[in-house]
Structure 1
């Protein structure tokens, strides 16, 4: 049986390797990153802002459920994190790490639910509608969190330094939207073109962050 010339086989393999490398580089060049600095009305860095990119003129990619639910913890008598952002269809699990029971309820158009949680966690809750859900604990009035649901897979929450980075965003035209839990106003919207090198974006809200209600001191709170 003829197997061909060894030199030609090596040449073909080298050509295929070069072609594969070129395709990988081409794919990498078609995606960029969005980096933004979020500021409040006074120009100071603002944390807990939800920043997300919505493509203009192109469809959203199909939703793929994460391998594990996104977790919202009840820990040290607080919800952690304070702001969670998920894509529509994502399951969220509430995990109680406190020795106390919590009575959790949500308000808002995105998802409403109510349950008590102690040592065992209820089944994950699927957030199947875009919008914001305010989550509270009836037993501990200072406990509050936000779960913000968006239809796009490109999102992030700003840190205390106001910085946010969204990686692997395909090149193209987008609406960059910004939402913050301390305002009832609709999300800010700005036009953005994502490329291999996208300039730093500045997002400035027209309000100052509100002071959150703090939990009682250890000496002043004895639990249930």
Structure 2
């Protein structure tokens, strides 16, 4: 019994964790993909999650277009094209410059401040990517159905936030409370502006 009890206590947070499902729709009730959804605890400090990530360059585009990571994450930027790229950002959250390269740079870029990072390429002006750095491990981006599932969310109070690079207005955060083992569903409506036109060139 003495050996079983510690095991049960270790598993208790998993049994008590909640599941949060969020769907984002536009005013016409159509799904919004590539939107960021994240839950910030209102009390205490959020634990650290996975602190590594990858943003690819494929066919002269950033893949994925929209990424979200926790503060302190180290991201690699593999170039999978047969031409060289020069990836950079002048965003206040993180300024960096990966000089003209092929393959994968030897050192990742660490994003240690929360906020938005807009990515670009000095060679291919139409290449734009978006990285949101958040102070929580509970996040994801919506799929083609506009859905996100945040599993293993400890019970408690959270600020639930959503964001998209093309949103026409800021969406107010929602204060939510999740109970032990609960399954909660939220729907947000978001109006998007047209994305910037991409003009590919032969270089």
Aligned to 1:132: 116
- CA separation of 1:174/1:144 partners in 2, compared to 1, >3 Å: closer, same or farther? same
Q: Could you tell me the TM-score, scaled by structure 1's length?
A: 0.80
* Structure 1 unmatched runs, 5+: 1-14
Aligned to 1:169: 153
Aligned to 1:211: 195
Q: Does 1:32 pair with 2:22? A: no
The total of aligned residue pairs comes to 201
**Worse-superposed segment, 46-55 or 107-116:** 107-116
Report how far residue 115 of structure 1 moved.
2.5
Report how far residue 142 of structure 1 moved.
2.0
Aligned to 1:183: 167
Q: Could you tell me the TM-score, scaled by structure 2's length?
A: 0.88
Report how far residue 190 of structure 1 moved.
0.5
Report how far residue 136 of structure 1 moved.
1.1
- Rounded Cα–Cα distance in structure 1 between residues aligned with 2:157 and 2:114: 21
Report how far residue 194 of structure 1 moved.
1.5
On the 8 A contact 1:179/1:188 being kept in 2, the answer is: no
Q: 1:78 aligns with which of 61, 77, 81?
A: 61
- Rounded Cα–Cα distance in structure 2 between residues aligned with 1:58 and 1:94: 33
Q: Does 1:222 pair with 2:172? A: no
| 1:61-210 equivalences in 2 (<5 Å) | 61=47, 63=48, 66=51, 69-122=52-105, 123-183=107-167, 185-195=169-179, 196-205=181-190, 207-210=191-194
Per-residue CA deviations over 1:75-121 (Å, capped at 9, x if unaligned) read 11111010110101111111101111112221322111122242243
More helix by share: 1
What SS does the aligned partner of 1:23 have? helix
- Rounded Cα–Cα distance in structure 2 between residues aligned with 1:24 and 1:129: 32
What SS does the aligned partner of 1:29 have? helix
- Rounded Cα–Cα distance in structure 2 between residues aligned with 1:146 and 1:137: 12
* Structure 2 unmatched runs, 5+: none
- Rounded Cα–Cα distance in structure 1 between residues aligned with 2:10 and 2:136: 25
On the 8 A contact 1:50/1:158 being kept in 2, the answer is: yes
Report how far residue 213 of structure 1 moved.
2.9
On the 8 A contact 1:99/1:118 being kept in 2, the answer is: no
